[in-house]
A and B are shown apart, each in its own frame.
Chain A
């Protein structure tokens, strides 16, 4: 009876895994087949070939796209961590008039969908001359209410006695922030970093609007470019590009999975 239940369980798990993994597996298989093989309708490559991967880098500046996505996502993540942690620190440890009011203002920003701001933001970026520029892709996203909220929850768990002891010993606020608060909040910071990076990597509408130059184009838009160029002729190349483009995020997800799950567990009960 127990064995029957366990087997059924494993069977279900495997079935679901096959369905979930299918698109990725399919892309991988197609990317290893040359054009003729794909058109012939084979599912499995007769002999694997990397010709698609070579072409992917030749037909479009895939490397450049990847670098842009990486750079932009990285800078956004770093900026968000700094900006959010500073604000969260002020909300938790510093006392000043109007503090709670400002916090509610920050939280209120979570209610505003970005479509309500995208048009003027585009016009602002245009006016600043930041189109086709990394700054236009990065700076607007540094303030993140969710990040402030998450880090505030985390900072609140640091015993207030630590802060009082630091004050008594003459440690300044900023030093306390750098030496005590940040190291103790590693889990939340990593969670926020992983989530932020994936989120930034995944941005679509904004890069579409503010870039039309391959120099700064991110990989999401780059894939779109590649696909329109290669349509009906070299799907293998497109699949190869997709496989390459998914590697960074998958790796990040695997690496940060434990932290992400821990962080989500803390924050899941909202």
Chain B
């Protein structure tokens, strides 16, 4: 029925197949597309090159030299800086302070933010106001937060000591006492970091399918059991992300330290980055400071690796 389709009637020759195209044309096209791509990438790559890769290499270079006060390398010393570091009591002290600081701030921030996120997750009238309040510390920049907490910690007229006196305790010089300084800075840091951590965890909570909770309610699970069985496992990717980022941030703390304690008293708060800053820009020992910077890089890399290796196994991805 009907004529066959595709019956050829014309005598015009069909166009030549692709393979006949000249190699030259193909190569030109490839170069053209590569150039175009590079134009878009150029700004990023150039900036990364100048301000990231080159400096990274230069830091490694400087770390094996003595340098003058202008930062020019003078004498090759090999691993002398690194060896000196390992033998320096100050270095170990600094390491201890950094680790303690991280141990104080990271779990507390995550735990408190998680609690706040749980509170702010339920839909109630006016919950939006509370969510805004809990997120507000994200808008507190380091200078603002530091200066406020500095005032609060003021031994004479700060509110904290006033409250302590009011309940009958003895006032403490929070930032000047070697035993309390690190804890005081940690408290301020926790407050600063709650805002963003809260927002991230709240976003994670709201991504959990509500029917999982309903199924749990029907099965008769109590609130705490639901928390443990449903919420925590399903929030684990976000918890992991938040903890990792917080930890890396904690190891890099500088602003509050410089503001509140300047590494003191007696190096109680001389966390790593502050030590690097002092060595490079106060003592002008660029070579040794570079070595310290590399050690910090190494520590962060190891910590992140360990996190991924061990903690990530417990994360339940969907």
Tally A-B pairs: CB < 8 A. Answer: 261
**CB proximity of B297 to chain A, nearest CB, Å:** 4
Beta-carbon contact of A119 and B71 below 8 Å: yes
Beta-carbon contact of A113 and B119 below 8 Å: no
Beta-carbon contact of A96 and B203 below 8 Å: no
Stretch at the interface among B9-17, B48-56, B86-94, B213-221: B48-56
Number of interface residues of A (CB under 8 A): 91
CB-contact partner of A117 in B52, B116, B280, under 8 A: B52
Q: How far is the CA of A122 from the CA of B70 in the complex (A)?
A: 11
Q: How large is the interface on B (under 10, 10 to 19, 20 to 34, 35 or more residues)?
A: 35 or more
Let me know if B124 is at the binding interface, CB within 8 A: yes
Across the interface, name the chain B residue whose C-beta is closest to A115.
B293
Q: How far is the CA of A94 from the CA of B36 in the complex (A)?
A: 8
* B251-265 Cβ-contact flags toward A at 8 Å (1 or 0): 110110011000000
Instruction: Choose among A13, A39, A201 the residue with the greatest number of B CB atoms under 10 Å from its CB.
Output: A13
Q: How far is the CA of A23 from the CA of B143 in the complex (A)?
A: 13
By secondary structure, the B interface counts as: helix
Stretch at the interface among A47-55, A163-171, A182-190, A251-259: A251-259
Instruction: Choose among A145, A220, A239, A252 the residue with the greatest number of B CB atoms under 10 Å from its CB.
Output: A220
By a CB distance below 8 angstroms, the chain A residues around B3 are none
Across the interface, name the chain A residue whose C-beta is closest to B245.
A270
Across the interface, name the chain A residue whose C-beta is closest to B298.
A116
24 contacting pairs across A/B (C-beta < 8 A)? A9-B119, A9-B122, A12-B119, A20-B137, A20-B194, A24-B136, A82-B43, A87-B40, A95-B37, A116-B55, A119-B55, A120-B58, A120-B59, A142-B47, A208-B258, A219-B141, A223-B143, A224-B258, A241-B147, A246-B139, A250-B139, A254-B132, A257-B135, A269-B207
The 8 A-B pairs of least Cβ separation, nearest first, read A143-B47, A220-B143, A96-B37, A117-B55, A90-B40, A204-B255, A120-B58, A120-B55
